[in-house]
Chain A
Amino acid sequence: MASINARGLRKAYGKTVALAGIDLKVEEGRILGLIGPNGAGKSTALQAVLGLIPYEGHLKVLGRDPWTERDALMAEVCFIADVAVLPRWLKVNDAVDFVAGVHPRFDRAKADAFLAKTTIKRTSRVGQLSKGMVAQLHLALVMAIDAKLLVLDEPTLGLDILYRKSFYDSLLNDYFDHTRTIVVSTHQVEEIQHILTDVVFIDRGHIVLDSSMEAFESRYAEVMIGPDRIEAARALKPIQDRQVFGRHILLFDGADRTALAALGEVRTPSLADLFVAMMGGGEADERQTGVAA
């Protein structure tokens, strides 16, 4: 059974269309990165999945309708909607007690073990913790829940790189076990590329890329090319052309690997570069053309 199955999922706020009828299927045991610029509809899509907002179209999460069966769904789904949504007055111990009290799938020992690895004092209030520690506390609570689907909406926004790295390391090492499904949206694309199994780019309410990481790696290629071979390379129709230290880095979609290898060293592009190539749109292209001319 697919963890998430959306067909024609649409959401409009007045005249503003946040989601223009997207189709999305996330199978069990995948880690999906949902990537898009601000206002692309990422959060709206995740809110619909979590039953936080009404929507149009067909949507099933773990086989349930998230809007009408939200209470039952929340026993199996967990989410971190934002950094720092834990209330400032809440004590660390009380937070653990509360989740243990209301959640049938919460494993207190697991939360305790995770918290023991941090410098968080159990008697502190959330308001006394640093932003990174709040994220650690939230993650400790969420990871101790045996949820089938974990949704993370910008979970590391505003954290420094050390906390961001340890956040995703913990998630991958201590939580993910190939039966759970994780959906994560973030701006920090590079940092999560290596943990994803699937990626979706979303822009202005539309899905512009929906691919597994294996397919992404075989489909897209990046070649660094000296000025002498640039015309030959351009004949292969790169989707992006950028210059670094006088050399060109060309990004190709579905080009023949052997033909590319003849031009220079072929690499798998970063999601961030592909993201810029696809989303940067006209503006970036014009800039590149200007430089090239």
Chain B
Amino acid sequence: MTDAPSHPLSSTRPFYWSVRRELWENRAIYFAPLAVAGIVLFGFLFSLHGVPQAGRVLAGPKPGPGATPADIHAYGRYTMVLLAPQFAAAAILIAALIVAIFYSLGSLNNERRDRSVLFWKSLPVSDRTAVLSKAFVPLVILPPVVFVTMLATQTITMGVTSLVLAANGLPPAILWSRLPSAAAMIVGLAYGLVMLSLWYAPIVGWLMLVSAWTRRMTFLWAVAPPLALCLFELLAFRTKFLWTLLHSRLVDGLAAFTAGGQGKAPIHDISQIDPRPFLTDFGFWGGLIFAAAAFTACIWLRRRREPI
């Protein structure tokens, strides 16, 4: 069949270099989460002056039955002073989601727009390798980037807060007793990101499909048709089936970060990590099938679409 190449390459090499190529082009994949982490930490520095006061109040007893609403409110406010930096780290996740959206929308459009697709296609990298390497970036590269950035940010904020408490003669346990265990934080975050990646795979697939299909205005093409269909369904049939589906796809994945996957309380203990609600959900598997179909269509389209 094929002539022996002058030096054999393993079949994963083109994939590896294609992923690296994506990261050369899209440095926002790691810069955006890092930049947001920087902002979170910068804001955290300015909130540190309130920590000793909050620590002193929280070291005292919880407001009892006789406490005034003002006392309860103050207590809650001081709890927030201590815990806010941990929640601010969620901003890193939001940044990553935005990066993933715009990355996917550009993935198969930019190379046609600047005609560089003709260069990539002059090399022995198949359309399947090219498309899968592009899908790999938001689905497999981005989650660990978020994981490391978030964990580092939280470690720094927790560590510094503990030091400030200790320096003021207060026990750091004031903070730690209010946070999940370290194991729950690490495992819960990793698990949540994996599940979120799988849950959002069909969205990445849809955005990449739009990117491969349309010539320009990718964002509009990605957003307007689904919304138009929802509106049509509402007007024509007075039902909200599509809207419910869309809404569920956008927000339900976040439940992976909550106890038992129920979408209510945050995970405080490893035992609360439970993939069953996802694995038994038709939407979860249906989404993955949709994603696989979308990536297949992307490969087909990349073969045939011409430079813009």
The answer to whether A101 and B16 touch (CB under 8 A), given A87-B111, A87-B114, is yes
Task: A53 to B305: give the CA distance in the assembly, Å.
Answer: 9
What's the minimum C-beta distance from A110 to chain B, rounded to whole angstroms? Answer: 12
Q: CB of B211 within 8 A of chain A?
A: no
Listed residue (B9, B16, B124, B125) with the most chain A CB atoms within 10 angstroms of its CB: B124
Please encode chain B, from 101 to 126, with 1 for each CB lying within 8 Å of some chain A CB and 0 for all others: 00000000001001111110111111
Quick one: closest B residue to A142, CB to CB?
Answer: B122
In the complex, are the beta carbons of A101 and B116 less than 8 A apart?
Answer: no
Kindly report which residue of chain B lies nearest to residue A100, judged by CB atoms. Answer: B17
- The answer to whether the Cβ of B21 comes within 8 Å of any Cβ in the partner chain is yes
A75 to B9, CA, bound (A): 11
Asked if B281 is at the interface of the complex by the 8 Å CB criterion, the answer is no
Instruction: From known contacts A74-B124, A80-B122, A99-B123, infer whether A89 and B9 are also in contact, taking CB-CB under 8 Å.
Output: no
Interface: B161 (CB within 8 A) = no
Q: At the interface, yes or no: A172 with Cβ under 8 Å from chain B?
A: no
What residues of chain A lie closer than 8 Å to B68, measured between beta carbons? none
Q: Secondary structure at chain A's binding surface: helix, strand, loop or mixed?
A: loop
Within the complex, what minimum Cβ distance (angstroms) separates A133 from chain B? Answer: 15
Q: Report the bound CA distance from A91 to B221 in whole Å.
A: 32
For the complex, give the distance between the alpha carbons of A98 and B25 in Å: 13
Between A and B, how many residue pairs show CB distances below 8 Å? 84
Check A98 against B20 for contact (C-beta < 8 Å). yes
Residues of A within 8 A of B25 (CB): 87, 89-90
**Which residues of the other chain, B, contact A104 by a CB distance below 8 angstroms?**
5-9, 124
Interface size on A, residues (CB 8 A): 34
- Produce 1/0 per residue, A62-84, CB < 8 A to B: 00000000011011101111101
Query: Is there a chain A Cβ closer than 8 Å to B13's Cβ?
Result: yes
Do the beta carbons of A102 and B125 come within 8 Å of each other? Answer: yes
Evaluate contact between B21 and A98: CB separation under 8 angstroms: yes
User: Bound state CA distance, A104 and B20, in angstroms?
Assistant: 18
The answer to the question of B271 belonging to the interface, with a C-beta cut-off of 8 Å to chain A, is no
- Residues of B near A85 (CB, < 8 A) are 114-119
Q: Nearest residue in B to A138 (C-beta to C-beta)? A: B119
Give the residue name and chain of the A residue nearest to B6 (CB): A105
- Does B2 contact A72, Cβ atoms closer than 8 Å? yes
Chain A interface residues toward B at CB < 8 A: 50, 52-54, 71-72, 74-76, 78-82, 84-91, 94, 97-99, 101-105, 138, 142, 146
Q: Other than the known A78-B122, A82-B118, A98-B17, what 6 A-B pairs have Cβ atoms closer than 8 Å?
A: A86-B119, A87-B25, A98-B20, A98-B21, A101-B20, A102-B124
10 A-B residue pairings within 8 Å (CB atoms)? A52-B121, A53-B306, A81-B115, A87-B119, A98-B20, A98-B21, A102-B125, A103-B124, A105-B6, A138-B119
